[in-house]
Amino acid sequence: MYKKIKILNKLFPFHFIIDENLQIIKKGPSLKKISNKDKNFISQFRFIRPGIGIEYTFESIKGYINQIFIVELLDNKSVKLKGQFIKSDDNQVLIFCGSPWVTDELQITEMGLTISDFALNDSVVDMIQVLKANKLENEDKLQLMDEIEKQKLFYDQLLDVLPIELFILDKNFKVTYHNISTNAIEKAKSTLFDYLQLKGIIADNLLNTKNQLSEVTKTKSKVSFEELYQNNNIENVSLRYAMPMDFSDAKESILTYSVDITTLKQNRDQIIQKNNELEKINLELDNLIYSITHDFRSPVLSIKGMLNMMASSNLINEEQAQYCKIIKETLQRLDDTIIDVLTYSKNARLNLTFSQINLQPIIENTFDSNKHIVNYPIKLEVNISQICPFESDENRLKTLLSNLISNSIKYSDNTQLNSFIIVNAIIDKQFCNIEVIDNGIGIMPEHHSKVFDIFYRATSKSVGTGLGLFICSEVVKKLGGSISLKSKPYEGTTFFIQIPNQFKS
Amino acid sequence: MTKNFILVDDDPIFNFLTGHTVENSSCSGKIYSFTEAIEALNYIQGLGESYDNKTIVFLDVRMPVISGLDFLELFHKKISKQKQEVFDIYMLTSSLNSEDKEIALSFDCVKDFLSKPLEFAQMEKICGE
């Protein structure tokens, strides 16, 4: 008997044994721990299961011997035991074999028990492990859900802040997602078009939007187009993009978003309008310059003619002839200025026209038509080396060379006996590099940086218009090249020009 | 050889100047001045088909109502081919517009495009031709 009890204690530490009078004659060690010492079964336990039909008699219990019992400890209601009654061999006693009915790990500690109070074979032990694992898993899941919720909030807020209206549509253009904070979308019975109508889209534009979105579904391609809205006489323009949603599992869906471009469009329209106005003004200005130069030249030339006539007649004396000469020179300067202004405006408004250029005759002709400016001889030397044809804008190149060569003549040193001008040109596939070298009066260093400025004249003795080198630098700019100079007073000046060769082999 | 001269310029001073240069040249002939191109054209039309005296026309480019270029077009249209050959037209202008020059020189009757005022040397060259 002692041995049996020991086994019983080991296998069912929560067992108890009752006799025919329902007196508890034996309790397992773990049950002892959580119950009082009352020997009466009725005052200590209550049946939970079976609930109906059972009576608190030895015979009644015996009748339920093959069923699961759940009994509650009356003075410790957190403890419920689950198990079964078995009869002793002699039918004298009933033995309850079971253990606490546990659904939660916490219950065990509440009952004042530890794992060691349970039999090793008790499934409660496993259950507790499972419960523990479940609990951890649940905690992880909660944490994950929390994280997802946070991220969702982040993206929702992000999409809220973005100045775009974003929609995801199903294949019937019903809205399955949108980032708009108004409730217009719910009122609009949920297709995009209903919403756009509420927003005041113009009928034609709505039709276009429908067609464009159908196109996206059909061709699986991205489209973008403008939408015009009208609300209380205020017009708004949106730029809408729509594309098939080929990412995530949203097959057959359309992603579409629109940006309000009203201000951008207004600005652009204003710029276009201003530009048109400016172009018109520019044209008028060009015409004005052209008319003015013509109208200015006409009287200048007629005075010049009259002076020629007067000078060649025998009617005037030497002094008067001298006056005529001075008037003629002054007139010539006025005429030069008029011509320079015209040249400048031509360079600014006429398009570039490229053709093949032969430098040698241009240089020689320019020199020939200017050498009379001074009454002493000047030697011209031209050295051209080229490995391929040279193409550029001929008229502009002539203007450039004419200004530089006539400058070299105008500012030659009349105290020199061997005044010269050397023009060197090296032409390769990329550039034409030209040097115009003279041994004239030179330019003082302080003027070097300013000679290309408009109306800048280095000396009051200068006979120029103050436009020549300015025109040169403008022409070179237009041709995409560069111009610079090196000069020493009383020794001479060298201008360096580099012009891109437009020749394409 | 006698050559006749027709001067067309809206500015009478230029007609006076050019006339003076012609008078002092080695050419001899009659000089007709017009300040309106249409009058000059009417004059040429009135000369009759048999007119065959070599005639030099100095024609300004920029003129009000009918410009020098308009004159060239009308001359080309209204004057018979045979009669056209009697006239050598020289453009005399203060215009710096290279387009004007190109258009003018595209007419067969236009011999040259000269800058005002007409120089004595240029006049002598014309006389020699």
The tens digit of pLDDT for each residue in A455-498 reads 787 766 666 778 889 999 999 999 999 999 999 998 999 999 99
Quote the Cα angle for A194-A199-A202, to 5°. Answer: 85
Please state the rounded mean pLDDT for residues A294-300.
85
pLDDT for residue A316 is more than 80: yes
**What is the model's pLDDT at position A186?**
64
Query: Quick check: A240 and A227 in contact, CB under 8 A?
Result: yes
pTM: 0.53
Q: Is the peptide bond before A50 cis (omega within 30 degrees of 0)?
A: yes
Which residue of chain A comes nearest to B20, CA vs CA?
A309
Average pLDDT score, chain A: 87
The tokens of A378 are what? 């000047």
**What is the model's pLDDT at position A354?**
93
Which residue of chain A comes nearest to B93, CA vs CA?
A298
Pick from A63-77, A114-128, A219-233 the range whose average pLDDT is largest.
A219-233
Name the residue facing B11 among A293, A302, A304 (closest C-beta).
A302
Q: How far apart are CA A291 and CA B77, in angstroms?
A: 29
Name the residue facing A309 among B11, B20, B115 (closest C-beta).
B20
- Three-state SS at A482: strand
Query: Quick check: B34 and B43 in contact, CB under 8 A?
Result: yes
Which residue of chain B comes nearest to A309, CA vs CA?
B17
Range in A118-122, A167-171, A265-269, B49-53 with the lowest mean pLDDT: A118-122
Quote the Cα angle for B45-B51-B56, to 5°. Answer: 80
- Which of B96, B100, B114, B123 is the mutation pick for testing A, counting most A CBs within 10 A? B96
Q: Which residue has the higher pLDDT, A484 or A311?
A: A484
pLDDT for residue A15 is more than 70: yes
CB contacts < 8 Å between A and B, how many?
42
Q: How far apart are CA A281 and CA A289, in angstroms?
A: 12
Decide if A312 touches B, using CB distance below 8 A: yes
What amino acid occupies position A229? Y
Decide if A456 touches B, using CB distance below 8 A: no
Name the residue facing A301 among B97, B98, B116 (closest C-beta).
B116
E-strand stretches of A321-462: 354-356, 379-386, 391-393, 420-427, 431-438
Helix axes A318-349, A394-410, angle to 10 degrees: 150
**Interface touch A301/B120, C-beta < 8 Å:** no
Q: Which residue has the higher pLDDT, A115 or A378?
A: A378
**What is the model's pLDDT at position B11?**
87
Q: Percentage of chain A with pLDDT > 90?
A: 39
Burial (0-12, 13-18, 19+ Cβ within 10 Å), A195 = buried
Confidence band for A2, pLDDT divided at 50, 70 and 90: low
Confidence band for A249, pLDDT divided at 50, 70 and 90: low
Q: How far apart are CA A24 and CA A314, in angstroms?
A: 167
Query: Quick check: A160 and A176 in contact, CB under 8 A?
Result: no
Please state the rounded mean pLDDT for residues A54-82.
88
Q: What's the CA dihedral at A75, A80, A84, A86 to 10 degrees? A: -20
Which residue of chain B comes nearest to A300, CA vs CA?
B94
**What is the model's pLDDT at position A198?**
85
Confidence band for A181, pLDDT divided at 50, 70 and 90: low
Name the residue facing A301 among B20, B94, B120 (closest C-beta).
B94
**What is the model's pLDDT at position A250?**
61
Q: How far apart are CA A371 and CA A421, in angstroms?
A: 11
* Shortest CA gap A395–chain B (Å): 10
Confidence band for A297, pLDDT divided at 50, 70 and 90: confident
Q: How far apart are CA A366 and CA A460, in angstroms?
A: 26
**Interface touch A297/B120, C-beta < 8 Å:** no
- Three-state SS at A229: strand
Name the residue facing A302 among B13, B96, B120 (closest C-beta).
B13
Query: Quick check: A19 and A92 in contact, CB under 8 A?
Result: yes
Chain B, residues 20-59, CB within 8 A of chain A, namely 20
**Interface touch B116/A305, C-beta < 8 Å:** yes
Decide if B1 touches A, using CB distance below 8 A: no
**What is the model's pLDDT at position A462?**
65
DSSP tag of A14: T
**What is the model's pLDDT at position A119?**
81
Confidence band for A286, pLDDT divided at 50, 70 and 90: confident
**Interface touch B117/A302, C-beta < 8 Å:** yes
Which segments in chain B show pLDDT lower than 70?
Answer: 1
pLDDT for residue A187 is more than 60: no
Which residue of chain B comes nearest to A336, CA vs CA?
B96
**Interface touch A342/B118, C-beta < 8 Å:** no
Question: Which residues from B are below 8 Å from A297, CB to CB?
Answer: 94, 96
**What is the model's pLDDT at position A228?**
93
pLDDT for residue A384 is more than 70: yes
Q: How far apart are CA A150 and CA A162, in angstroms?
A: 18
**Interface touch B116/A294, C-beta < 8 Å:** no
Contacts of A482 (CB under 8 A, 6+ apart): A476, A497, A498
pLDDT for residue A188 is more than 60: no
pLDDT for residue A357 is more than 90: yes
Query: What sign for the dihedral angle of Cα A199, A204, A207, A213?
Result: negative
**What is the model's pLDDT at position B8?**
96
Contacts of A75 (CB under 8 A, 6+ apart): A35, A36, A44
Listed as own residue / partner, the contacts of A28-36 with beta carbons closer than 8 Å and 24 or more positions apart are: A29/A117, A30/A99, A30/A113, A30/A117, A30/A118, A31/A81, A33/A112, A33/A113, A33/A117, A34/A73, A34/A76, A34/A79, A34/A111, A34/A112, A34/A113, A35/A73, A35/A75, A35/A76, A35/A79, A36/A75
Decide if B67 touches A, using CB distance below 8 A: no
**What is the model's pLDDT at position A392?**
95
Q: Please list, residue by residue across A63-77, b when 16 or more beta carbons sit within 10 angstroms of its beta carbon and e when fewer do.
A: ebeeeebbbbbeeee
* Shortest CA gap A307–chain B (Å): 10
Which residue of chain A comes nearest to B9, CA vs CA?
A298
Q: What are the beta bridge partners of residue A95?
A: A17, A86
Q: How far apart are CA B128 and CA A179, in angstroms?
A: 92
- Three-state SS at A444: coil
* Shortest CA gap B49–chain A (Å): 36
Confidence band for A417, pLDDT divided at 50, 70 and 90: confident
Q: How far apart are CA A463 and CA A480, in angstroms?
A: 29
Please state the rounded mean pLDDT for residues A200-215.
92
Alpha-carbon distances of A276 from A265, A272, A279, B96, rounded to whole Å: 16, 6, 5, 28
* Shortest CA gap B59–chain A (Å): 14
Listed as own residue / partner, the contacts of A401-404 with beta carbons closer than 8 Å and 24 or more positions apart are: A401/A362, A401/A363, A401/A366, A401/A434, A401/A436, A402/A366, A402/A370, A403/A468, A403/A469, A403/A471, A403/A472, A404/A436, A404/A472, A404/A495, A404/A497
Which residue of chain A comes nearest to B60, CA vs CA?
A298
**Interface touch B11/A298, C-beta < 8 Å:** yes
Please state the rounded mean pLDDT for residues A196-215.
91
Query: Quick check: A382 and A435 in contact, CB under 8 A?
Result: no
Confidence band for A144, pLDDT divided at 50, 70 and 90: very high
Name the residue facing B94 among A294, A308, A312 (closest C-beta).
A294
What amino acid occupies position B81? K
**What is the model's pLDDT at position A460?**
62
* Shortest CA gap B116–chain A (Å): 6
Burial (0-12, 13-18, 19+ Cβ within 10 Å), A469 = buried
